[in-house]
């Protein structure tokens, strides 16, 4: 590769950054790292109505969380309007673009006529007659003078050759009547000035790419290399949207997913390392990643697969590191300060339970706050005798479990029944961690307190 790789991620802040967008960022970032290149972050915020600061913050938070540090950026298009105006006026001066004075009503009439004649609408080009002229005090947009009857070929690294004739397009607008550039025009200007070598983006941009090739030709600029990656669909086969709430990337952080897992999982949405290996780190990804290995077919986002992968990461993690993650997560989202030694003891009995940090907290939170509601009332005989037995038993060795088993033998009661009574009393749930290990961690006094509270609750609901 003779030309240095320079790639960009260029989201529009008109909605929250979603799974599809961040995968595009990932592929660009990894491609740059693999080839010792440069990764740029550009915010395409020229839509003043729909662009919002909260969406920009979401983009930046997501990029920072995943560690995609740009060589330069964020670069804001809203701060570069004079640059786009300069090149638009240059095209007008060279008679490759022209001022269009058509009103919305004029365009509406043309569209209605096309609809009546059952043909695809294209701008009539009537303002071409005024090419090179500029009328005063009249609102105008700027349209390119399309190159007629030229066959364009995108030599796409993923899709192969994709062809279209320029006559498929009309004299489309490059600067709107409010002075802001259109997406296709600003994108070309910025990519050229940043010396972008590879444009890696979703396949839904293929039509935009053909329009942009016309602009490259009019400005006599060299094309970058293009790679259009497949879209991501939900398990139901529908396209994921950045307005599809739960897929906003930063929500996965809030739900307790690990950044390493998101990188690992997202890389497999459309790309494969050509092995059966599914769990790998970013170094493996950098070493094995090739744009040519990305599939042309749409990828499917499967939340259960993501949950499985996150669980594998957490279960295989060093206990000290896992404790640190849980402490930070719980303090940030639930405002509890967890003592490390106690937490490590809890995590040791947790096993593979908890596929996310949020799920881990759901499993262990009863150690930190006594239940105020109970999933079920377990009414068993000899409840007071069981509580009295626990009060007299040593919690510091295995005698607790032995004492309860012996009690079951003497009273002919099933251990399962007693265990379920204790489980609901101490956790509020019918499913929890091992009761004997849990009681030891809670300690005798806290265990007895919870048993007594549950006893009061049983009397209350049965009266």
Residue 5: pLDDT over 70 = yes
Residue 189: pLDDT over 60 = yes
The C-alpha atoms of residue 154 and residue 142 are separated, in whole angstroms, by 26
| Helix axis angle, 19-34 to 259-267, nearest 10° | 90
Q: Which residue has the higher pLDDT, 392 or 11?
A: 11
Residue 36: pLDDT over 50 = yes
Give bridge partners of residue 162 from the DSSP assignment: 154
Q: What is the mean pLDDT of residues 121-137?
A: 82
Q: Which residue has the tokens 């990804």?
A: 285
Q: For position 244, what pLDDT does the model report? A: 41
Q: Is 429 exposed, middle or buried, given 0-12, 13-18 or 19+ CB atoms closer than 10 A? A: middle
* Confidence label for 245 from pLDDT (cuts 50, 70 and 90): very low
Q: What is the mean pLDDT of residues 200-220?
A: 94
168 CA to centre of own chain: 35
DSSP secondary structure letters along 2-49: -SPPEEEE---SSS--BHHHHHHHHHHHHHHHHTT-EEEEEE----TT
Q: What is the mean pLDDT of residues 172-200?
A: 96
User: Is the Cβ–Cβ distance between 455 and 447 less than 8 Å?
Assistant: no
Helix (H, G, I), strand (E, B) or coil at 141: strand
Burial 247-263 (b: 16+ CB within 10 A, else e): bbbbebbeebbbebbbb
Residue 420: pLDDT over 60 = yes
Q: For position 196, what pLDDT does the model report? A: 98
Which has the closest alpha carbon to 2: 279, 199, 225, 153?
A: 225
Q: For position 386, what pLDDT does the model report? A: 87
Residue 155: pLDDT over 90 = yes
Q: For position 242, what pLDDT does the model report? A: 43
H or E, element range at 152: strand 151-156
Residue 38: pLDDT over 90 = yes
Q: For position 432, what pLDDT does the model report? A: 86
Residue 207: pLDDT over 70 = yes
Q: Is 32 exposed, middle or buried, given 0-12, 13-18 or 19+ CB atoms closer than 10 A? A: buried
- Structure tokens belonging to residue 267: 């890389």
Helix (H, G, I), strand (E, B) or coil at 198: strand
Using DSSP, how many helices (H) and how many strands (E) does the chain show?
A: 18, 12
Residue 243: pLDDT over 50 = no
* Confidence label for 29 from pLDDT (cuts 50, 70 and 90): very high
Taking residue 230's Cβ as centre, other Cβ atoms within 10 Å add up to: 21
* Confidence label for 240 from pLDDT (cuts 50, 70 and 90): low
Phi, psi of 370 (to 5 degrees): -70, 145
Give residue-wise pLDDT tens across range 327-382.
999 999 999 999 999 999 999 999 899 999 999 999 999 999 999 888 877 777 77
The C-alpha atoms of residue 74 and residue 25 are separated, in whole angstroms, by 13
Residue 237: pLDDT over 80 = no
- Structure tokens belonging to residue 434: 């091992």
User: Is the Cβ–Cβ distance between 169 and 146 less than 8 Å?
Assistant: yes
Q: What is the mean pLDDT of residues 418-442?
A: 91
- Structure tokens belonging to residue 178: 């409010």
* Confidence label for 396 from pLDDT (cuts 50, 70 and 90): confident
User: Is the Cβ–Cβ distance between 98 and 146 less than 8 Å?
Assistant: no
* Confidence label for 239 from pLDDT (cuts 50, 70 and 90): low
Residue 59: pLDDT over 50 = yes
Helix (H, G, I), strand (E, B) or coil at 313: helix
* Confidence label for 132 from pLDDT (cuts 50, 70 and 90): low
Q: For position 246, what pLDDT does the model report? A: 47
Residue 395: pLDDT over 90 = no
Q: For position 377, what pLDDT does the model report? A: 74
The C-alpha atoms of residue 97 and residue 89 are separated, in whole angstroms, by 8
Q: What is the model's pTM?
A: 0.89
The C-alpha atoms of residue 410 and residue 228 are separated, in whole angstroms, by 73
Burial 1-30 (b: 16+ CB within 10 A, else e): eeeebbbbbbbbbebbbbbbbbbbbbbbbb
Give residue-wise pLDDT tens across range 266-307.
999 999 998 889 999 999 999 999 999 999 999 999 999 999
Q: What is the mean pLDDT of residues 43-64?
A: 94
Which has the closest alpha carbon to 355: 443, 280, 441, 265?
A: 265
Find the radius of gyration of the CA atoms of the chain. Answer: 31
Helix (H, G, I), strand (E, B) or coil at 200: strand
Q: For position 378, what pLDDT does the model report? A: 74
């Amino acid at each position: 590769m003779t030309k240095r790789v320079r790639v960009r991620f260029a989201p529009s802040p008109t909605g929250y950054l979603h799974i599809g967008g961040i995968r595009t960022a990932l592929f660009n970032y990894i491609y740059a790292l693999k080839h010792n290149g440069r990764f740029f972050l550009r915010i395409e915020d020229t839509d003043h109505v729909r662009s919002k600061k909260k969406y920009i913050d979401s983009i930046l938070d997501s990029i920072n969380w995943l560690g995609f540090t740009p060589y330069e950026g964020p670069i804001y298009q809203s701060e570069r309007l004079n640059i786009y105006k300069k090149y638009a006026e240059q095209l007008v001066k060279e008679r490759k673009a022209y001022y269009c004075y058509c009103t919305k009503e004029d365009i509406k009439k043309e569209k209605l006529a096309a609809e009546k004649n059952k043909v695809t609408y294209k701008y009539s080009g009537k303002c071409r007659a005024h090419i090179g002229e500029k009328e005063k005090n009249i609102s105008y947009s700027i349209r390119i003078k399309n190159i007629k009857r030229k066959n364009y070929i995108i030599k796409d690294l993923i899709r192969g050759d994709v062809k279209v004739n320029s006559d498929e397009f009309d004299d489309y607008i490059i600067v709107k009547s409010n002075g802001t550039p259109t997406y296709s025009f600003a994108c070309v200007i910025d990519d050229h000035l940043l010396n972008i070598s590879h444009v890696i983006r979703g396949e839904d941009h293929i039509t935009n790419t053909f329009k942009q090739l016309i602009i490259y030709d009019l400005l006599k600029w060299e094309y970058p290399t293009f790679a259009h990656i497949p879209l991501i669909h939900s398990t139901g086969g529908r396209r994921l949207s950045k307005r599809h709430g739960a897929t906003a990337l930063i929500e996965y952080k809030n739900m307790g997913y690990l950044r390493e897992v998101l990188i690992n999982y997202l890389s497999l949405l459309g790309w494969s390392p050509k092995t059966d290996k599914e769990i790998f780190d970013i170094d493996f990804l950098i070493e094995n990643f090739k744009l040519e290995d990305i599939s042309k077919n749409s990828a499917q986002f499967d939340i259960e697969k993501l949950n499985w992968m996150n669980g594998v990461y957490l279960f295989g993690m060093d206990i000290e590191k896992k404790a640190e993650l849980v402490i930070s997560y719980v303090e940030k989202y639930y405002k509890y300060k967890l003592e490390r030694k106690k937490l490590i003891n809890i995590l040791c009995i947790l096993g593979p339970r908890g596929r996310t940090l949020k799920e881990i907290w759901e499993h262990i939170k009863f150690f930190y706050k006594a239940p105020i509601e109970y999933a079920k009332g377990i009414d068993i005989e000899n409840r007071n005798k069981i509580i009295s037995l626990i009060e007299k038993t040593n919690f510091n060795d295995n005698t607790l479990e032995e004492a309860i088993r012996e009690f079951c033998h003497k009273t002919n009661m099933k251990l399962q029944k007693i265990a379920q009574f204790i489980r609901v009393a101490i956790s509020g749930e019918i499913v929890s961690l091992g009761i004997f290990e849990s009681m030891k961690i809670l300690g005798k006094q806290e265990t007895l307190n919870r048993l007594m509270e549950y006893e009061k609750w049983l009397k209350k609901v049965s009266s």
